[in-house]
């Protein structure tokens, strides 16, 4: 009886081991594929980033759970403002999560960039960028973006670029300055899993964005039109209709 039980247990363990090995191999293959397909389109120095009319800034929380300013948010906003000053982008699409009245990533980005001297005319807000996929799908389908410079951390760019290309956006990545943060290893591990999930989103279950809505092509004004303009510090928070 013990021998039979041991054989059954051994067979189960071998099966579980094979499944685990297959999962690890699939995870590695997916990540190597995504990284290999996007590596040449990522610049790690802002001054070297190729110019595009539109820069897409991805939303994230302004604060960490411990109550400190989020270094990832700070890096993305700092890079976005600098890219405008350098003339690497003409217009910023600020896309983030606005699921509740008390949490609004696009407005937070808009206010932060106003404080850095960015003109309102240089920004468009996307209130339904609930994920990287949603941000890029809406950029293409709603805002008519065909080419873009993606502004985010280096670890995020491979997945973002891979999604953009799959959705029809010719994109390049501009990696923002990296800041060491507590729990960064968890983000890296989550990103490895997210890259694998992305392949499923794109090629297996054909994921769709949570919300699209009517087409709203970006209003990109020329440098001459906005030259000399200053941010309107007294302006009310922009409504969804005024994006």
Q: Which residues contact 177 (CB under 8 A, 6 or more apart)?
A: 75, 78, 79
Q: Which residue has the higher pLDDT, 161 or 13?
A: 161
- Per cent of the chain over pLDDT 70 is 89
- What is the 8-class DSSP label of residue 69? B
pLDDT digits (tens, 9 = 90+) for 54-69: 999 999 998 887 778 8
Token pair listed for 202: 């794109």
pLDDT tens per residue across span 86-130: 999 999 999 999 878 788 999 999 999 999 999 999 999 999 999
Q: Which CATH number fits domain 37-226: 3.40.50, 1.10.3470, 2.60.40, 1.10.10?
A: 3.40.50
* Whole-angstrom distance, CA of residue 171 vs CA of residue 50: 10
Band the pLDDT of 19: cuts 50, 70, 90.
confident
| Residues whose CB falls within 8 Å of the CB of residue 74, separated by 6 or more in sequence, listed in order | 179
Could you give the CA distance from residue 163 to residue 82 in angstroms, rounded to a whole number? 25
Both tokens of 165, joined, read 């290309």
C-beta of residue 92 within 8 angstroms of C-beta of residue 55: yes
Whether the Cβ atoms of residue 31 and residue 196 lie closer than 8 Å to each other: yes
What DSSP assignment string belongs to 162-177?
Answer: HHHHHHT-EEEEEEPP
Q: Exposed, middle or buried: residue 191 (CB in 10 Å: 0-12, 13-18, 19+)? A: middle
Predicted confidence at residue 69, as pLDDT, reads 87
Q: Tell me the pTM.
A: 0.85
For the four alpha carbons of 138, 144, 147 and 153, in that order, the dihedral sign comes to negative
Best CA proximity match to 133, nearest among 105, 97, 106, 80: 97
Identify the helix (H) or strand (E) that includes residue 109.
helix 105-115
Q: What is the pLDDT of residues 162-185, one digit of tens each?
A: 999 999 999 999 999 987 767 677
Residue 169 token pair? 């956006």
Other CB atoms within 10 Å distance of the CB of residue 154: 15
């Amino acid at each position: 009886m013990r021998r039979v039980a041991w054989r059954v247990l051994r067979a189960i363990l071998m099966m579980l081991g094979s499944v685990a090995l297959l999962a690890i191999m699939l995870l590695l293959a997916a990540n190597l594929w995504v990284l290999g397909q996007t590596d040449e389109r990522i610049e790690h120095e802002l001054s070297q980033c190729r110019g595009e009319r539109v820069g897409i800034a991805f939303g994230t929380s302004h604060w960490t759970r411990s109550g400190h300013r989020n270094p990832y948010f700070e890096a993305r906003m700092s890079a976005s403002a600098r890219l405008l000053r350098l003339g690497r982008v003409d217009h910023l699409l600020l896309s983030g999560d606005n699921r509740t009245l008390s949490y609004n990533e696009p407005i937070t980005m808009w206010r932060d960039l106003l404080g850095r001297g960015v003109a309102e005319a240089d920004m468009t807000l996307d209130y339904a960028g609930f994920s990287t996929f949603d941000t890029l799908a809406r950029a293409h389908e709603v805002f008519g973006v065909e080419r873009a410079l993606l502004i985010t951390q280096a670890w995020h760019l491979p997945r973002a670029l891979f999604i953009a290309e799959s959705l029809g956006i010719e994109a390049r990545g501009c990696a923002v300055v990296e800041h060491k943060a507590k729990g960064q290893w968890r983000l890296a591990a989550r990103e490895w899993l997210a890259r694998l999930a992305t392949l499923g989103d794109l090629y297996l279950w054909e994921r769709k964005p949570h919300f699209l809505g009517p087409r709203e092509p970006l209003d990109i004004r020329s440098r001459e039109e906005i030259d000399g303009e200053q941010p309107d510090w007294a302006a009310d928070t922009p409504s969804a209709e005024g994006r």
